[in-house]
Amino acid sequence: MALKFCQRIFRGFGNHTIPEKGCKHLLDIMYRTGYQRPITRARQDNDWNFIRNAKELKEAGIKFKKREGSSRLFDVVFLENGTIEIPCLKIYDKTESLFRNLVAYEQCSRRKHLYVTNYTTLMDCLINTQEDVQILRHSGIIENGLGDDGMVCSLFNNLCKNVILSQRRHFCYNKVFDGVKEHYNRKRNVWMAKLKHDYFNSPWALLSFLAAVALLLFTLVQTVFTVMSYFQKD
């Protein structure tokens, strides 16, 4: 009954069993049944707990996709093809209070792995404006039961205020953050993404781009033949 209650309030925990020992209250049950074991890979940088927002990452060619087949809400991965896969989060009126209680529970529990805090840190990085929420919503990652993207934005922007973050080696999304930063810092990825956005976003833009390339090639060929004919005369 307790597990069904947790599943109704916090969608995405999946069908798990409650540990026989150690659960003291409902928050503890939700915490134990919903976490993701950490993936640790330390890197010495000053902004290890920071990545760009969804709009900037999208402009750099990073794609967002709803993660299928995972029963863990916090099971976020970054793939080699530049895609961040995040399980769907359904946001309702009680979501903010639930997250606040779970974050407060972690902050007072003296645990090394702050799974919920790490997740809210990730979402806070991705969401700065309503446009970021819209990108995640269109990708199927967020289901907004509040009706207003601005409310979702405020929710995550306020959750991490005055919160102590994990130590670097215990941060759950080390691998995700490292992969995103490596992809974002490659200029080629940014240029390709900008090229697709500016010239390949519609058939007319593509035709204009091809026409410009063809005109450039014809001009180059004409110049070469002109120079060759000049030297042949001499």
Where do the structural domains in the chain lie, given as residue ranges?
2-190, 202-233
Distance between CA atoms of residues 192 and 187, nearest Å: 9
Return the ∠ at Cα 116 (arms to 178 and 30), rounded to 5°: 140
Give the three-state DSSP class for 176: helix
Q: What pLDDT is attached to residue 88? A: 92
pLDDT higher than threshold 80 for residue 232: no
Q: Considering the entire predicted model, what is its pTM? A: 0.73
Cβ contacts of 210 within 8 Å, gap of 6 or more: none
Distance between CA atoms of residues 189 and 223, nearest Å: 33
Q: What pLDDT is attached to residue 230? A: 64
pLDDT higher than threshold 70 for residue 54: yes
Q: What pLDDT is attached to residue 231? A: 65
Out of 89-93, 94-98, 150-154, 187-191, least confident range: 187-191
Q: What pLDDT is attached to residue 202? A: 60
Quickly list DSSP for the chain.
Answer: -HHHHHHHHSTT--S-PPPSSS--SHHHHHHHHH----B------TTTT----HHHHHHTT-EEEEPPS---TT--EE-TTSEEEE--EEE-TTHHHHHHHHHHHHHHHT-S--HHHHHHHHHHHH-SSHHHHHHHHHTTSEEESSS-HHHHHHHHHHHTTT-PPPPGGG-TBHHHHHHHHHHHH-HHHHHHHHHHHHHSSSHHHHHHHHHHHHHHHHHHHHHHHHHHHHHHH-
> Taking all residues of the chain, what is their mean pLDDT, rounded to a whole number?
78
Q: Quick one: average pLDDT of 102-120?
A: 84
Q: Quick one: average pLDDT of 73-101?
A: 90
CA-nearest of 123, 117, 118 to 102 is: 117
**pLDDT greater at residue 169 or residue 180:** 180
